[in-house]
């Protein structure tokens, strides 16, 4: 039996467009003698559809698209079948009113052949809000050359059942266990598994355990593309019955590969497509920006370029995602901006080949001072004066973004967002926070990689200079500073980032109490200070733009801390 693995990039809610994308895959392989096409989880509606699933008209549309697609596929080939992920309405009025299901389209008709059993409700996932769990695992019997091919079908979380590898498991049945004595010829998993650094290896290890338990090959097909804060890397693969990797689709690209069931157990040597973690991270962020802009109907982006490392990195990612002609940089020096920073920002813009403009804000600062000096506030000083500079810049950027329909890219990092070292309605303005899930130390590491020879192959795939530094040693080696007052440095207010970031990671991603971090050797005074800053900045994060998630715990839909608490 010949199979096609279709790693697709859907637009959430675009049933017609996603259906057409699936049909085009089938049309392109109609002369390849393919028997079964496999698409990702919820491939017809896109993942995650969230509260779009509360719209009852959606399911009439879904049914219409499935009927039309079945007919078109039948006209294309009577021998081609396809697995499509759909949201299936239940037949009763109890809630939740849906199943997360898989439909088989063949010979002009379609039918449900699998339903998801384990529903993730943690971090960014909230599937129990919409779906109910299936009671049993699914086996699809396909006839091929007068034989029956027994195929187990699971959906994403249904194979995440190895507590030793995962450290935990969703409460409920083990979908793999109920398939152990069924003598399967193949296990298929349709997934929409978001990107997290190093997660692809864990996916393969989880699937390998299933292959060994069932003594059959495993095919894993994952969604690709950016949907809001989530980035889906694809990285679909096939394993033999011993859990060895046979084929792997490229990460971060929409693609299709063919394979035959008879060759799934043949030994093969599979090279790693992206050997460095920095390259994987860079490609993920590029895809996140590219798809966010495209799917939200933005053709261009605007960035406040300060001469610092954060805005330099965001500008580089934006150029890689959108192209040089689609990225616009605004330099907004104040009286406290160093000549070096203005020069570094200008040089970077020229090196990237992007349009840039300088708009000094000194006169605007004076105007605000004049107006406010007549109030009970008096002339702004201290933090108030510093924040006014940031808000002036944010207002300028938003005005230009509105006027030109640019996507304003926020340039703050995770360390700043964690401790509130950012200004509401100022540098937090924007439609997308590109590096809001990267600690400051990670920003430096990624920029070091960009400026190294190791990034050369990646540069060729995008719109970046092929040789020489991009970020520059001047920017990379500059002490971090907001430059909101004379000779200001981040270290005036915060611990060194090499100390701050491990403490933040302990609080945010490892959920450690202050006592545990102190026992690990961190200074008690610093730990308590960071804990207080993290708590007091919660109200700011509630008003921050969506950010691209690349870690186990990001400040987004998976971070649900109360603002008012002790």
Place of tokens 């491939």: 43
| 156 is an active site residue | yes
Distance (Å, whole) CA 557 – CA 262 = 43
Helix locations, 357-466, DSSP H: 362-373, 382-404, 414-419, 440-450, 456-461
User: How many Cα atoms sit within 13 Å of 385 on the Cβ side?
Assistant: 19
Which residue, among 105, 123, 113, 112, has the nearest Cα to 160 in the 3D structure?
A: 123
- The Cα-based distances of 349 to 310, 419, 451 in angstroms read 14, 30, 15
What strands, in cross-sheet order, belong to the sheet with 138-144? 138-144, 147-155, 186-191, 218-222, 237-239, 245-248
Which residue, among 161, 216, 169, has the nearest Cα to 188 in the 3D structure?
A: 216
Is 37:31 a contact under the CB 8 Å cutoff?
no
DSSP conformation class of 194? B
Q: For the chain, how far is it from start to end, CA to CA, in angstroms?
A: 60
| 149 is an active site residue | no
DSSP conformation class of 123? T
| 467 is an active site residue | no
Distance (Å, whole) CA 309 – CA 439 = 12
Place of tokens 């399911």: 59
Q: Is the peptide bond before 433 cis (omega within 30 degrees of 0)?
A: no
Which residue, among 411, 408, 406, 419, has the nearest Cα to 436 in the 3D structure?
A: 411
Which residue in 41, 62, 386, 416 is the catalytic one?
41
Distance (Å, whole) CA 154 – CA 235 = 17
User: How many Cα atoms sit within 13 Å of 44 on the Cβ side?
Assistant: 30
Place of tokens 């699998």: 114
User: Using alpha carbons only, how large is the chain's radius of gyration in Å?
Assistant: 26
Which residue in 62, 97, 127, 156 is the catalytic one?
156
Which residue in 21, 97, 116, 414 is the catalytic one?
116
For the annotated catalytic residues, the residue numbers are 41, 116, 156
């Amino acid at each position: 039996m010949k199979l096609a693995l279709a790693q697709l990039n859907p637009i959430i809610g675009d049933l017609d467009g996603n259906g057409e994308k699936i049909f085009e895959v089938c049309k392109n392989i109609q002369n390849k003698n393919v028997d079964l096409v496999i698409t990702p989880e919820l491939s017809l509606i896109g993942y995650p559809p969230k509260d779009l699933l509360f719209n009852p008209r959606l399911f009439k549309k879904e049914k219409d698209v499935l009927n039309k697609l079945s007919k078109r596929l039948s006209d294309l080939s009577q021998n081609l079948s396809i697995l499509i992920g759909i949201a299936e309405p239940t037949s009763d009025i109890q809630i939740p009113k849906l199943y997360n299901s898989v439909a088989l389209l063949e010979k002009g008709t379609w039918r449900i052949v699998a339903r998801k059993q384990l529903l993730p409700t943690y971090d960014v996932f909230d599937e129990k809000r919409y779906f109910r769990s299936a009671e049993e695992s699914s086996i699809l019997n396909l006839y091929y050359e007068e034989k029956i091919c027994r195929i187990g079908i699971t959906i994403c979380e249904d194979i995440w059942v190895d507590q030793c590898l995962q450290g935990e498991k969703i409460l409920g049945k083990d979908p793999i266990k109920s398939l152990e004595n069924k003598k399967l010829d193949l296990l298929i998993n349709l997934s929409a598994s978001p990107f997290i650094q190093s997660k692809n290896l864990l996916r393969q290890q989880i699937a390998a355990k299933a292959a060994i338990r069932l003594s059959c090959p495993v095919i894993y097909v994952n969604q690709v593309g950016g949907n809001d804060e989530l980035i889906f890397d694809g990285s679909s693969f096939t394993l033999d019955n011993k859990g060895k990797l046979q084929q792997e689709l490229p990460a971060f690209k929409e693609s299709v590969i063919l394979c035959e069931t008879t060759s799934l157990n043949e030994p093969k040597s599979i090279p790693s497509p992206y050997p460095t973690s920095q390259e994987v991270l860079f490609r993920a962020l590029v895809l996140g920006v590219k798809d966010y802009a495209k799917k939200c109907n933005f053709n261009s982006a605007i960035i406040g370029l300060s001469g610092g490392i954060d805005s330099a990195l965001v500008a580089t990612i934006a150029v890689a995602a959108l192209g040089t002609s689609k990225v616009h940089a605004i330099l907004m020096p104040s009286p406290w901006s160093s000549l070096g920073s203005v020069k570094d920002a200008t040089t970077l813009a020229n090196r990237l080949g992007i349009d840039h403009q300088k708009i000094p804000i000194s006169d605007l600062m004076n105007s605000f001072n004049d107006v406010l000096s007549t109030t009970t506030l008096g002339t702004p000083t201290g933090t108030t004066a510093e924040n006014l500079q940031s808000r002036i810049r944010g207002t300028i950027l938003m005005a230009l973004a509105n006027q030109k329909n640019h996507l304003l890219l926020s340039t703050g990092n995770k360390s700043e967002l964690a401790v509130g070292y950012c200004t509401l309605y100022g540098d937090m303005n924007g439609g997308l926070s590109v590096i809001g899930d990267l600690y400051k130390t990670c920003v430096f590491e990624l920029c070091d990689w960009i400026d190294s020879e190791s990034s050369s192959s990646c540069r060729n795939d995008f719109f970046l200079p092929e040789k020489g530094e991009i970020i520059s040693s001047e920017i990379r080696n500059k002490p971090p500073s907001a430059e909101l007052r004379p000779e200001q440095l981040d270290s005036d207010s915060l611990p060194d980032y090499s100390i701050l970031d491990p403490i933040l990671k302990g609080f945010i991603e490892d959920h450690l109490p202050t006592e545990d971090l102190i026992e690990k050797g961190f200074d008690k005074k610093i730990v308590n200070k960071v804990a207080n800053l993290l708590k007091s900045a919660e109200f700011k994060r509630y008003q921050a733009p969506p950010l691209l998630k690349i870690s186990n715990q990001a400040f987004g839909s998976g971070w649900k801390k109360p603002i008012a608490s002790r």
